[in-house]
Amino acid sequence: MLLLLSSCEGDDLKKVSAIDAKKVTLSKDRTYGVEVIYSDSAKVKAKGYAPILDKVKPSTGAVYSEMPKGVKIYFLDDFLKTKGSITSDYAINKETERITIFRKNVVVVTDNMTFTTEELTWDENKRLYTSPAGTVTTKDGNILNGTSFSAPQDFSTYSITMPSGQANVENGKLP
């Protein structure tokens, strides 16, 4: 025992104290079966469901919400009918940054396309979705793979950098 104590120098103990002082404690409030309604200008735009929602409050830093069992969000039209959806196996919402990141098996479905990726970020400030890579399958069966996907909040259009894929051809012409 004396040998162990004598092998610890004062500098090592100072390092341990410094590391201990930098510890961040988290408080977490867990809610099951959460349903969230998103509105803009007093109009309901989306409805979401998460089996588990953890509201995390670090002792330092910003509060965030984590959905460790995934999320399903339905986009709604003016008559509250579903016009598209996003599903993922995991999501995190950074409230102060107004950013939501969807991860693992992300699927976006709209009237004219299905987009699949492993990560999709929604920037609420810019009203823009972005992804480092993904695949778009159009309603008529064309498939586009690429990097740097982006789309406005309503997915009415989209942009893909470095696209490649498969297209259906009828009578020697692209549709």
Q: Is residue 138 a part of any domain in this protein?
A: yes
Q: Is residue 113 a part of any domain in this protein?
A: yes
Q: Is residue 14 a part of any domain in this protein?
A: no
Domain count, the chain: 1
CB 143 within 8 A of CB 136: yes
62 phi and psi angles, rounded to 5 deg: -90, 150
14 has pLDDT over 80: no
What's the CA gap between 55 and 67, in Å, rounded?
Answer: 9
Q: Is residue 117 a part of any domain in this protein?
A: yes
Q: How far is CA 87 from CA 59, 90, 116, in A?
A: 31, 9, 10
Q: What is the pLDDT of residues 24-70, one digit of tens each?
A: 566 778 889 999 888 878 888 889 999 999 998 887 878 899 999 99
Residues 83-92, mean pLDDT to the nearest whole number: 95
**CATH number of the domain where residue 30 is located:** 2.60.450.10
What's the CA gap between 5 and 55, in Å, rounded?
Answer: 42
What is the extent of the structural domain holding 37? 25-166
Q: What is the pLDDT of residues 96-141, one digit of tens each?
A: 899 999 999 999 999 889 999 999 999 999 999 999 999 999 888 8
Written as six digits, the tokens of 106 are: 């992300």
Q: Is residue 16 a part of any domain in this protein?
A: no
Q: Is residue 9 a part of any domain in this protein?
A: no
